[in-house]
Structure formats: C-alpha cells, structure tokens
C-alpha cells in the first residue's frame, strides 16, 4: 500500500495543466470539432420536428400527443449512435491527455486523433467497472432492504429506526468508496500498463480514498466552481440585457416560426454567445488538463520507480 503524496501531486497537476495548456488544446480541439459536427448533424436532422413542436403544434390534444411521440421516437433513433460517437471522442481525448501527462507523448501537440487500442481498452474498462459497481450497488441495496424487512417482519421497537438509518448511511458510504477507489486510477492504468486494469486500479486505490477526495476537491471542484462563478458574474448581466430587447422585439413583430425567433433573438444574444464560446475555449483545456493530470501524476507517484521505461 503506497499513499499518494498529496502536496507533490497537487503541485505537479497544476504545473502540468498550465505549462501544457496549448498541447492540451491541441489534443482536444479536433475530437471536440468532430463531436460538435456530429451533434450539429443530429440537430439539423431533428430541427424540422423541433420547430413544429414549438411553433406549429396542433391544437387538438390527441394530435399534439401523437406529434410528440413521433418526435421522441425519431430522436431516440439518432440519440444512441450520437451518444456512442461522443463517448468514443471523449475517451480519445482522455487517452491523449493521459499520454501527455504520463510522459508518453513528448513535445508540443497541435492535433490529435487516435482510435488505437488504448481508446477501446478504456471504453471496455469503464463498461466493466460500471457493471461491477452496479452489481455491488444492487447487493448493497438488497442488504438495506433486508434490514428494513427485518424491522417490519419482527415488529422491532422504534429505536430500530436508528439501525435502518445507519444501514442507509453505510450503503451510501460503501458505494462512494467503491466508485472512488475503482474509477480514479483506471485511465492512467489502462493507458500506461495496457489491459483492462480493473484489479490494478483497485489495488492502487487502497489506503488513498481520502487523498483522492482531497485531490478532486483541490484540483477539480475548486477551480471548476471558481470558473463557474466568473462565468455567472459575467453572463447573468448579459442575459438580462439580452432578454428585454428580445421580448420587445417579439411583442412588436410577433414570433410565429423558428426563423422569426432567431432573427429576433440573435442581435440581442450574439455577444453573450460569442463570449461563452471564447470562455469555453480558454477554460475547457484548463479543467481537462487538471482532471487528467490529477490521476496521471498520482499514478506516477505511487508506482515503483521508472516502470514506464520498460514499455
């Protein structure tokens, strides 16, 4: 059992994220562009139905319900393939940043696209891990149900409610512990060592639960909350300033179609939309780098010296 050196890992995580922000962006931008294109294609395919639901929905309730059901059925036909495409592209990005953080990619990166074995291994590892977690959750839930069943079956005194509450709390803690210990080290293990890595990730997580929680708070949650507050401080006034002209334009001109809506909305919303795009371009690589470097650097700090030299 090797403990994560907390201070060292935090320093290395932030150092990697900010020193390599251009390479992180280079790894992520092309998969993100493909994800945007796939999502835009699906929205273009569904847009006539979306516009009809908002602007041409029949007055008759049965006809409206049928139109809604047709839209839901059509949406589900493309939602599954889109989800799979986005999952593969997201996993590709994770693998690329992990390789950079682990030192497996040297020098600057300007574009990245890989459907190599590491991408598919990580997808399979996540599937296996979540199946294992769901089975564990089901068993824990069954144990809690048995505790409640015993209370009902044997008419135990009211103080037995404390036992039931303790069973629920223990179940939640056990599930959180298993999730953190299993998932945290999975990406660097799969990328660096090959294989599925479930057992290895579980082994490395031993004795590190609270250190992992501290890393997530310091390296992910704190910067995400800070950046989110900055975004809200800037965008809320922009949204308020945009809504009033949009409302006046809608009342004066009338909005009866999607084209009319966007014609009225864009002059008021364009600055806010452009700001959000620029904001995401700046902050997204930072959070992506912090999230992946956190586990990659923790992995490098708990494995034996120089194990990657043999790869």
Model confidence over 284-302: pLDDT tens digits?
899 999 999 999 999 999 9
- Structural tokens at position 217: 């708070």
Structural domain harbouring 99: 6-115+207-310
Which tops the pLDDT comparison, 15 or 263? 15
Q: Into how many domains does the chain fold? A: 1
Q: Which residues contact 297 (CB under 8 A, 6 or more apart)?
A: 9, 12, 13, 16, 101
Q: What stretches of the chain adopt beta strand conformation (E)?
A: none
Assigned domain for 213 exists: yes
Assigned domain for 297 exists: yes
For the chain, percent of residues with pLDDT exceeding 90: 54
Assigned domain for 229 exists: yes
Assigned domain for 169 exists: no
Assigned domain for 255 exists: yes
Assigned domain for 289 exists: yes
pTM for the complete prediction? 0.81
Q: Which residues contact 193 (CB under 8 A, 6 or more apart)?
A: 200
Which tops the pLDDT comparison, 92 or 279? 92
Confirm if 156 and 150 have CB atoms less than 8 A apart.
yes
Assigned domain for 182 exists: no
Query: If you ran DSSP here, which 8-state letter would residue 304 be given?
Result: P
Assigned domain for 48 exists: yes
């Amino acid at each position: 059992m090797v403990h994560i050196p907390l201070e060292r890992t935090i320093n290395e995580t932030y150092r990697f994220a900010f020193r390599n922000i251009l390479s992180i962006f280079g790894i992520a931008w092309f998969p993100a562009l493909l994800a945007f294109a796939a999502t835009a294609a699906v929205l273009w395919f569904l847009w006539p139905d979306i516009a009809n639901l908002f602007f041409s929905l029949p007055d008759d309730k049965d006809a409206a319900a049928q139109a809604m059901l047709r839209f839901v059925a059509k949406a589900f036909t493309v939602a599954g393939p889109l989800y799979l495409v986005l999952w593969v592209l997201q996993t590709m990005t994770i693998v690329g940043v992990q390789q950079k953080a682990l030192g497996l990619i040297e020098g600057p990166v300007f574009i990245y696209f890989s459907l190599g074995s590491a991408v598919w291994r990580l997808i399979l590892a996540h599937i296996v891990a979540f199946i294992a977690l769901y089975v564990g959750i089901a068993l824990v839930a069954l144990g809690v149900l048995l505790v409640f069943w015993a209370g009902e079956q044997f008419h135990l005194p009211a103080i037995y409610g404390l036992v039931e509450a303790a069973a629920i709390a223990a179940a939640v803690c056990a599930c959180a512990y298993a999730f953190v210990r299993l998932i945290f080290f999975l990406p660097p293990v799969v990328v660096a060592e090959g294989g599925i890595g479930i057992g290895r990730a579980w082994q490395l997580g031993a004795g590190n639960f609270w250190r992992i929680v501290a890393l997530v708070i310091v390296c992910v949650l704190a910067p995400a909350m800070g950046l989110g507050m900055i975004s809200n401080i800037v965008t809320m006034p922009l949204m308020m300033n945009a809504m009033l002209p949009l409302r006046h334009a809608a009342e004066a001109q009338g909005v009866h179609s999607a084209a009319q809506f966007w014609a009225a909305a864009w002059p008021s919303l364009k600055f806010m939309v452009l700001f959000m795009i620029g904001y995401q371009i700046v902050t997204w690589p930072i959070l992506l780098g912090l999230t992946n470097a956190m586990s990659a650097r923790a992995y490098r700090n708990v494995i034996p010296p120089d194990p990657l030299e043999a790869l």
